[in-house]
Amino acid sequence: MRKLAALLLMLATGCVFSPAGEDEERARAAKAWPGAADQPLASHAGLEEILKHACLSNAGLKERWWAWKAALEQIPQDASQPAALAITYEQMFENGSTSWAQSTFGVGNDPMANFVWPAKLKTAGRAALEKARAAGHRFEAARLDLRTRVVVAWFDYAVLAETIRVREADAAILETMVDAAETRFRAGTAPQQDAIKARTQRDLARNRLETERAKLPGRRAALNALLNREPLADLARPASFPPLRALDATDAEILERLSERNPELLALAREVRSRRETVTLRRQEYIPDFALAFSGDAGGLVRSLMAMLTAPVTRYPAIEASIAQAKAELQMTRAARRQMGHDLQARAVLLLYDCRDAHRQAALYASSILPQAEMVVESTKAAYVAGRVSAVELLDSQRMRLEIRLMLAEFRAEREKLLAELEALAPDAP
């Protein structure tokens, strides 16, 4: 009888059928905890410092981690007995008096909930573990997505900073052109319309400059939002771009990495496994649940012993429907994973060719077009000193060089943004 009591106590209070792999998943979640930034972000921080700060501070990323944590805590709930332990005490009265020998104790499950067959709990635990693993992969997807958004926001900010520098230099050149045109007009060597045209171009350049400057607070606020900072927090304009990162992998290697390592695909694969366990669990509903109880008096003599099975005979149609539903949901998840795989591969191919085209154009501008523009400026400057060309031609060549410099910055930024998105789809490490 003591063994029966111990069995009841184990079933009702301390029996959790933990699935294999739960401890490893909890350790992985603990290691992935974003934590908190050690210190405030410096206003002059570079891109790598900003990326690190974002992973430690972004509230959206922490939300995904807590969703992972919540999914892990669902495992022991699903893998534990739902029945509580019911302990009863009964006192008999004889001639208005009581005695210890007339006391009866009972132990059993709560009448409102039977004991569930252990195989069901093991299956439910495995299904919950797969859901938790899916939540872990989605946390990784959120981390990669955050990195991409930070890179995009930072390069938008860097391109705007470069645009402002170019517009400032352009406005200074046009100011020089206005002075030259007005000098020639006063000397009678040029018509008044040349001076008017120069002033109009200068005013338009100043307007373009102020328009670009007005975009700064919005771009800075967008980046600060990803860093969990106040929108007006100081963040210095980038003075230059980091070196271009290499893209050495072939198309086939990138597509293979996507199929094997993409977090969203991995999450859906875990959901497929969870659905399979759910189908098994629905089939196990045919297995009866059971109840156990016994009672005895204070002298240790058994007074009663009760065992009960609850066969779900009247629920067969509902169980069959739940099995069919679980199978349909399994097929639905499999179809979603296949379609997402195709969509992501198409997106990766598009990103690959756009990235390589942007790299080609950036390389062309850096190695050929910009150096040629520099040569034009130098030769025009020499011709101006020799008196063979006017100051307007020299200033026009300088303005052309500025526009080419700006286009080079835009191509480099576009290439890095596309590469960041591609790395989020097909990460180097799982």
Per-residue pLDDT of 29-81, as tens digits, reads 999 998 887 788 998 999 999 999 999 999 999 999 999 999 999 999 999 88
Collect all residues with Cβ–Cβ distance below 8 Å to 174 and sequence separation of at least 6.
198, 201, 202, 205, 395, 399
pLDDT value for 334: 97
Asked whether the beta carbons of 255 and 341 are under 8 A apart, the reply is no
Short-list 37, 31, 29, CA closest to 67: 29
3-state SS assignment for residue 349 = helix
CB-based contact 106:75 (threshold 8 Å): no
Predicted TM-score (pTM) of the model is 0.86
In whole angstroms, give the CA distance from residue 102 to residue 340.
70
Q: Around Cβ 96, how many Cβ atoms within 10 Å?
A: 5
Residue with the two structure tokens 């930024």: 413
Regions in the chain scoring below 70 on pLDDT: 1-15, 91-102, 190, 298-303, 429-430
Place of tokens 């990235």: 355
Neighbouring C-beta atoms of residue 426, cutoff 10 Å: 23
- Paired tokens of 93: 């009265």
151's tokens: 């890179």
DSSP SS3 for 292 = strand
Rounded-to-integer distance, Cα 279 and Cα 282, Å: 5
| Residues constituting the chain | 430
Radius of gyration in angstroms for the set of CA atoms belonging to the chain, rounded to a whole number: 36
Report the distance separating Cα 205 and Cα 210, nearest Å. 9
Going from the C-alpha of 207 to that of each of 167, 333, 392, the distances in angstroms are: 10, 54, 21
What domains are there in the chain, each with its CATH number? 2-425 (1.20.1600.10)
- What pLDDT, on the 0 to 100 scale, is given for residue 100? 60
Q: Which residues in 290-319 are b (16+ Cβ under 10 Å) and which e?
A: bbbbbbbbeeeeeeeeeeeeeeeeeeeeee
Burial bucket for residue 178 (CB in 10 Å: 0-12, 13-18, 19+): buried
Cα–Cα distances in angstroms (integers) from residue 21 to residues 15, 18, 29, 133, 291, in the given order: 18, 9, 12, 10, 30
111-157 residue pLDDT tens:
777 888 889 999 999 999 999 999 999 999 999 999 999 999 999 99
